[in-house]
Structure 1
Amino acid sequence: MTPEQAVHALDALLDEAMSAIRPPLRYRDGRPWSTERTAGPDDHSLGYATATRDRYVMTKVAPSKYGALLGITERGWQARGYRITAVNPRQPAMFASTPAGYGVCLLVGAAGNITFQAAVGPVPVIRDRDPFGTHAPEPTLPDGRPDILPRYEDPFWSH
């Protein structure tokens, strides 16, 4: 798959991964990136990469709603044929594989930031430039860290 096809697949996968959530959550997409796949004791390249994209939830989700969000997401994923591969109840997270063999996950950060992540591939290894082209600068906090903290209130999710 080309990098352009990978971006379209990532966006479609993230849309699908969040489709069961009602009311819908506001979000912003992070930049796609690729990771070269390696194997063996010498870490030799397998000749391809995996493309990944984060989708940052910008709606404030109250900690008391994490279970509801995970439950709704899990049921939606299973209805689409996703196989849940791991769940971490202590620092809420859920990982799944799609029928096509792609990966998705839902991660809840310590600061209440929630991220959906999708990974697809294979994509070609491109070492001399960003395979996804030039990107607009991502929003940052005053201290320079990425701005992934939720800021939008929702009558259901935030309380």
Structure 2
Amino acid sequence: MRRRSLTVLLLAVALAGCGSFESHKKDGDMKVAMNMQEGADAADAILLDTFAAVQPPLTWAHDAATERACGDTNSTATGTATRRATVMTKVSAVRRGSLLGVVERHWKKRGYKITSVDADEELPAIYAATPEDFRMSVAVGHEGQFFLSVTTPCFARSEVSPPRARPDGPTYSRGPLPPPDIHDHFWSSRDPLPASSPSTP
């Protein structure tokens, strides 16, 4: 419970500046109150808040964090940051739809707009956006591994530090992350979900 309260607090603090971002947009002018580092912190908070909504908890790891310039690639005025996380918990085929549903309902509860749904049977994905235009996705990849990402809007260019949040679970060495390798009694189960399953927080 303490972890959930902390992540919700981080989300509130990180996104507090987003309202001022909207208030500084005038006639298409990209005057922004946040820089890329602050935007990346807000993206981290969205990821943490999303994971906190999933019960039983998932084991996850940070994946590649990237930045790029907005508009003209030679521009130094604004840029975006993308934060990524990879789920290391094994999610069985019969539980993947449930996990996608948990994430989708949580994002809707937060007031995020679902912008697109890929209903591919093998590699489904859900895409969403916050009112401040942070863009996020949850996608199922090879071996049923889940991937989450959050990309910021264009903010004032700045140096961006690696994510500071420490994920629960093993620390993986640098390089490509392995396929999901953590067993969970609920998410890894191959038993069909009962009709009254509590897995839909």
Q: TM-score, normalised by structure 1?
A: 0.79
Q: Which has the higher helix share?
A: 2
Q: Which has the higher strand share?
A: 1
Q: Deviations over 1:57-87 (max 9, x none)?
A: 1111111111101111111111110100011
What RMSD over aligned residues (CA atoms) do the two structures have, in Å? 2.4
Q: TM-score, normalised by structure 2?
A: 0.64
**Over alpha carbons, which structure has the higher Rg?**
2
State the match for 1:55 in structure 2: 85
Q: State the one-letter code of the partner of 2:87.
A: V
- Secondary structure (helix, strand or coil) at the match of 1:111 reads helix
Higher relative contact order (CA 8 A, sep 6+): 1
Identity of matched residues, %:
32
- List, as ranges, runs of 4+ consecutive aligned residues in structure 1 with deviation greater than 4 Å: 43-46
State the match for 2:60 in structure 1: 27
State the match for 2:116 in structure 1: 86
Q: Deviations over 1:97-129 (max 9, x none)?
A: 012221111011123221110111323446xxx
Distance 1:14 1:125 in 2: 22
The alpha-carbon deviation at position 45 of structure 1 amounts to: 4.3
Gapped runs of 5+ residues in structure 1? none
Q: How many residues align?
A: 146
Q: 1:133 to 1:100 in 2, by over 3 A?
A: closer
Gapped runs of 5+ residues in structure 2? 1-33, 164-171, 190-201
Counterpart check, 1:139 vs 2:173: yes
CA contact (8 A) 2:43 2:134 kept: no
1:119 aligns with one of 151, 157, 166: 151
Q: 1:29 to 1:134 in 2, by over 3 A?
A: closer
Q: State the one-letter code of the partner of 1:117.
A: S
Distance 1:147 1:100 in 2: 31
CA contact (8 A) 2:69 2:79 kept: yes
